[in-house]
Amino acid sequence: MEESRRDRDEEGRARNARPRDGLGRPLPYGAEGVERQPEGVVRSPGETVREAQRLLDSGMPFHAHEVFEDAWKSGPDAERELWRGLAQMAVGLTHAARGNAAGGARLLRRGAGAVEAFRGADPHGIGVAGLTRWARDLADRVDPAPDRSGQESGAGRAVDAAAEAPWLRRGDRPGG
């Protein structure tokens, strides 16, 4: 009987140590992957936004989601929904880039709904109105809902994660 391999971290907790690609998909052991984001890093909001933007611009929304997740878990309760919503949008882009249109659209819309409460306040310079518009527009483009002719519109077509990356901060880039 073959023993199953379980990766463990230094504390003995189960952790998958397989390398991953830029969209977070596991690769075979020994393959060259993208360096993973360390877990549990406490960053300032500005550092969080800068690091997540760098990862999004590099076509690595799965890794940006991990940065947002750290902020969601370590930040103040009043901002929990902001960071959680941003993490959901990043995972939505991840799914859309992997060709999972329905899952991507669902998470993009859920994330947009979570951050909408921050519209007008734009915490940490985050352009909430632009992000919610981006997320809903992308969800509409990848959502496999049938059009009037009964044909699915863009269902299952993977998007380019880097080309679709949103601008997180108001005014950082043209149109941002």
* Counted domains in the chain: 1
Residue 86 belongs to some domain of the structure: yes
Residue 119, pLDDT above cutoff 90: yes
Of the candidate ranges 24-28, 97-101, 148-152, the one whose mean pLDDT is the lowest:
148-152
Residue 1 banded pLDDT, cuts 50, 70, 90: very low
Residue 17 belongs to some domain of the structure: no
| Token reading at 1 | 């009987």
pLDDT at 24: 85
Alpha helices in 116-156 (DSSP H): 128-142
Return the closest-CA partner of residue 96 out of 55, 130, 61.
61
Residue 113 belongs to some domain of the structure: yes
pLDDT top residue among 74 and 33: 74
| Token reading at 100 | 């999972």
pLDDT at 176: 42
CATH number for 117: 1.10.3450.10
Residue 79 belongs to some domain of the structure: yes
Residue 53 belongs to some domain of the structure: yes
Residue 15 belongs to some domain of the structure: no
Of the candidate ranges 51-60, 69-78, 142-151, the one whose mean pLDDT is the lowest:
142-151
**Average pLDDT value for residue range 53-59:** 96
21-39 residues labelled b (16+ CB within 10 A) or e (exposed):
ebbbeeeeeeeebbeebee
E strand or H helix at 150: none
Residue 174 banded pLDDT, cuts 50, 70, 90: very low
Q: What is the mean pLDDT of the chain?
A: 86
Return the top range by mean pLDDT from 6-20, 21-35, 131-145, 150-164. Answer: 131-145
pLDDT at 30: 85
Residue 148 banded pLDDT, cuts 50, 70, 90: low
- 26-to-16, 37, 149 alpha-carbon distances in Å: 9, 14, 38
What distance in Å separates the CA atoms of residue 2 and residue 79, rounded to the nearest whole number? 47
> Which range of residues forms the domain containing residue 70?
45-142
Q: Whole-model pTM? A: 0.82
Residue 145, pLDDT above cutoff 70: no
